[in-house]
Amino acid sequence: MRIRYAKRGRLRFTSHRDVARAFERALRRAHVPMAYSQGFSPRPKISWIGAAPTGVASEAEYVEIQLVREVDPAGLVAVLDEAMPPGLDVLEAVPAGTGSLAERVEASRWRIEFDGVPPEQLKSAVDALLAAERVDVERLTKDGKRTIDARAAVVAAVVDAAPGESAPCGILDVVVRQTTPAVRPDDVLSALRVVADLAPPVPAKATRMAQGRLDDSGGLSDPLAQDRVAAPDRQPAAPRSDAD
């Protein structure tokens, strides 16, 4: 089963390891018929697809789970979402079709809010970034500082103004290609600081809005679309939650 879930509100500060633990606890509480690995320490068979970094929210996180029997996707969403902590919201589940889900994810679309930064100033900085051939930024890793080219991963970027805001707030909608190492929203912010000395008065807030394959226009295709088309028209029994 392939699942799309969201990480919202204060939960954006939760690490992926803690998200994974919460997910496993919810699977147990919802009595989802999980398949387990063999050996001395059996673990539920769960595969995470491009988890969002700590400190950002997301409306498009994906995970695959292996089950020992079929369940109704809508019922699975209902009981699993009920068992999740507030801020981790299960949005959709579909039976896995053919092919790898990871291969359908080539890029992410991010919405980054710059409170206190006028849209015109943000657009000027973004134009400078797009005009550059290369923008090196430093990232601190467990092995020390690493230099990466943030510009190479940026596919498209559009600036807009936050509607209804009395204070200036520029909104950056940016599509970032998956690279090795991955270019994160923080790296895009660092690149704007390098090319235009852009320093927001308060920390920018990033939300991943979509993941998928890139099309010719720089848009992203829905990675679950193929599975929805191939899903059989049947209604197996739903898992049972502890609340039942």
Q: Is 6 helix (H, G, I), strand (E, B) or coil?
A: strand
Q: Per CATH, which fold does 107-212 belong to? A: Alpha-Beta Plaits (3.30.70)
DSSP letter string, 123-191: HHHHHHHHH-S--EEEEEETTEEEEEESGGGEEEEEEEEPTT-SS-EEEEEEEEE--SSPPPHHHHHHH
2-103+223-230 and 107-212 agree in CATH topology: yes
One digit per residue, the tens of pLDDT, for the chain of length 244 reads 999 999 999 999 999 999 999 999 999 999 999 999 988 888 999 999 989 999 999 999 999 999 999 999 999 999 999 999 999 999 999 999 999 999 999 999 999 999 999 999 999 999 999 999 999 999 887 778 889 999 999 999 999 998 876 789 999 999 999 988 889 999 999 999 999 999 999 999 999 999 999 988 888 999 999 999 877 654 455 566 565 5
Q: Where are the domains of the chain?
A: 2-103+223-230, 107-212
- Spatial CA neighbour of 191 closest among 122, 244, 240, 241: 122
The H or E element that residue 41 is part of is none
Cα→Cα distances 129→152, 154, 177, 178, 203, Å: 10, 9, 15, 18, 19
Kindly state the helix (H) or strand (E) to which residue 240 belongs, with its residue range.
none
SS3 of the chain: helix, strand, coil, percent, to 5: 25, 30, 40
Q: What is the pLDDT of residue 234?
A: 47
> What is d(CA 110, CA 128) in angstroms, rounded to the nearest whole number?
19
pTM, two decimals, is: 0.89
Q: What is the pLDDT of residue 242?
A: 62
Look at the chain and count its residues.
244
Vertex 148 angle, CA 146 and 149, to 5°? 165
CATH 3.10.450.50 fits 2-103+223-230, yes or no: no
Q: Are strands 169-177 and 107-115 parallel, antiparallel or unpaired?
A: antiparallel
